[in-house]
Homo-oligomer: A and B are copies of this chain.
Amino acid sequence: MNRTVSIPKTGPQSCGDCPIRHRAVCARCDDEELVQLEEIKFYRSYQAGQVIAWSADRMDFVASVVTGIATLTQTMEDGRRQMVGLLLPSDFVGRPGRETAPYDVTATTDVVMCCFRKKPFEEMMLRTPHIGQRLLEMTLDELDAAREWMLLLGRKTAREKIASLLAILARRDASLQLREPEGVISFELPLTREAMSEYLGLTLETVSRQISALRKDGIIEIRGKRQITVPDFDRLLEETGDDTDGGFLV
- Interface residues, chain A, CB within 8 Å of chain B? 56, 72, 74, 76-78, 80-82, 84-85, 95, 97, 100, 102-103, 129, 132-133, 135-137, 139-140, 142-144, 146-151, 153-155, 200-201, 241-243, 248, 250
Contacts of A140 in B (CB 8 A): 95, 97, 139
Give the contacting residue for A151; candidates B76, B78, B100, B143; CB below 8 A.
Answer: B76
**A/B interface sample: 28 pairs, CB < 8 A:** A56-B250, A74-B147, A74-B148, A74-B150, A76-B151, A76-B241, A77-B241, A80-B155, A81-B155, A82-B154, A82-B155, A84-B150, A97-B137, A100-B250, A103-B147, A132-B132, A132-B133, A135-B136, A136-B139, A139-B143, A146-B146, A150-B153, A153-B153, A153-B154, A153-B201, A154-B200, A154-B201, A155-B201
Contacts of A143 in B (CB 8 A): 139, 142-143, 146
Q: A151 contacts B84, CB within 8 Å?
A: yes
Q: B132 contacts A136, CB within 8 Å?
A: yes
| Beta-carbon nearest neighbor of A144 in chain B | B102
Contacts of A129 in B (CB 8 A): 129, 132
Given A56-B250, A102-B144, A242-B76, decide whether A151 and B95 contact each other with a Cβ distance below 8 A. Answer: no
Within the assembled complex, what's the spacing in Å between the Cα atoms of A123 and B70? 36
Within the assembled complex, what's the spacing in Å between the Cα atoms of A74 and B100? 32
Given A56-B250, A135-B136, A139-B140, decide whether A150 and B146 contact each other with a Cβ distance below 8 A. Answer: yes
Within the assembled complex, what's the spacing in Å between the Cα atoms of A107 and B137? 26
The distance from the CB of A77 to the nearest CB of chain B, in whole angstroms, is: 6
| Beta-carbon nearest neighbor of A242 in chain B | B76
Contacts of A72 in B (CB 8 A): 147
Contacts of A82 in B (CB 8 A): 150-151, 154-155
Within the assembled complex, what's the spacing in Å between the Cα atoms of A127 and B54? 39
Q: A95-B140, A132-B133, A139-B139 are in contact. List 7 more A-B contacts (CB 8 A).
A: A74-B150, A82-B155, A102-B248, A132-B136, A136-B136, A150-B150, A153-B201
Contacts of A153 in B (CB 8 A): 150, 153-154, 201
Contacts of A200 in B (CB 8 A): 154
Within the assembled complex, what's the spacing in Å between the Cα atoms of A136 and B132? 8
